[in-house]
Amino acid sequence: YDQYRGVVAFVRVVDGHFSTREPLRAMALGTRFEAEELGFFSPTRRASGRLEAGEVGYVITGLKDVSRLRVGDTLTSETRPAAAPVPGYKDVKPMVFAGLFPTESDDYPELRDALEKLKLNDAALFYEPETSQALGFGFRCGFLGLLHMEIVRERLEREFDLDLLVTAPNVAYRVKPPNEDWREVHTPSDMADEIEEVEEPYIKASIIVPKEHVGAVMELNNDRRGRFDHLEYLSEERVHLTYELPLAEIVLDYYDQLKSRTRGYASFDYDVIGFRPGKLVRVDVLVAGETVDALSLIIHRDSAYDRGRALVERLREEIPRQHFDVAIQAAIGARVIARETVKARRKDVLAKCYGGDITRKRKLLERQKAGKKRMKQVGMVEVPQEAFLAVLNLDAEKK
């Protein structure tokens, strides 16, 4: 993207020729524009006025929105249109989603401006405003994969000098509510309470590993709900493993675990192969009877209890004590699967009673008990940001 001349497309001419001021059209998106300048690289841009078949060069389009052109699309002349586009183009679709929040709420405008500028050079980046009870205002961002997410985060921190909090990444799911069509959900809060079916994205993972670590890698993939496809010996020392895995199982710490179990010798690549049905549920976290949306998660039913138990135990340690008992619950729908209680701060109401009738002491204790009961009915508990961040780091600490 050129600040003054708009989108600059790097092209290879497959057939025919292009000239300056010729009307062009992107065949996949239908975007129409006039070629303001054509040329080739030597190694800097050098205008030539014409590009012939077989040449590699650039086209200055004048478009001010980078999303109106996509990498891999076919450009054709409006006056001499091609019959069909060059095969191989696939529309860009985000597969991994995460929330980006500034550590200081006053930096929200700077984060918004930074994402707008980054979007000019990265058409695959998707973002929309999001509000979290614990983290305040931020953005829900969509990425092509984990590497794309890391690159965007690094660029925001280095090029725009932002200090960011990144929530645990999750994937897009397809759900079918009763009497409705299939739809995609990107956050747990978008998932309806009643659903007939739910599907999750799967990948085909290609792993090359030394033969002495094959057992450890197969154990890791089995723990991540992987399905073995095939094994091939590339040489006496190197083995190629292929597995089908849920994308949700690799977005958190899979790559770190793979490197750890193979002492850094494994290489990993994957392709998304589509959606498949899964036994997935939404686990909600309730604090004092109120659902905390930012802590909800979509997880496989077999892992729901262990994850829910770990969540409530960590929250019990992080939430400050109140003047009344605070119940922390993990629930699937209306069924509570784990519970912990933050005990009330106790005030010694008998401190001024030096002996005397026991009924006086009982009366004071009963009055305190009734007061705590009233407080519990009207009291609100605010989940501190530290508690939320501790929960996000749960997976990292479990390693």
Task: Please tell me whether the overall predicted TM-score, pTM, comes out greater than 0.75 for this model.
Answer: no
Interatomic CA distance for residues 257 and 220, integer angstroms = 8
Q: Give the closest residue to 381 by CA, choosing from 349, 335, 345, 331.
A: 345
Whether 167 has a pLDDT exceeding 70, the answer reads yes
- Most confident range (mean pLDDT) of 234-238, 326-330, 338-342, 367-371 is 234-238
Interatomic CA distance for residues 189 and 191, integer angstroms = 5
* Whole-number pLDDT of residue 376: 41
Interatomic CA distance for residues 376 and 266, integer angstroms = 54
Q: 260-288 pLDDT, tens per residue? A: 899 989 999 888 888 999 888 888 888 87
Interatomic CA distance for residues 173 and 278, integer angstroms = 10
What's the mean pLDDT when you consider all of the chain? 82
Interatomic CA distance for residues 71 and 375, integer angstroms = 59
Q: 192-210 pLDDT, tens per residue? A: 778 888 999 999 999 999 9
- Most confident range (mean pLDDT) of 68-82, 238-252, 292-306 is 238-252
Q: 220-235 pLDDT, tens per residue? A: 999 889 999 999 999 9
* pLDDT band, residue 356 (cuts 50/70/90): low
* Whole-number pLDDT of residue 391: 65
Who's near 34: CB < 8 A, 6+ residues apart?
Answer: 21, 22, 23, 24, 62
Q: Which domains does the chain have, with CATH numbers?
A: 8-77 (2.40.30.10), 96-167 (3.30.70.870), 197-277 (3.30.70.240), 282-398 (3.30.70.2570)
Interatomic CA distance for residues 200 and 182, integer angstroms = 12
Average pLDDT over every residue of 10-38: 87
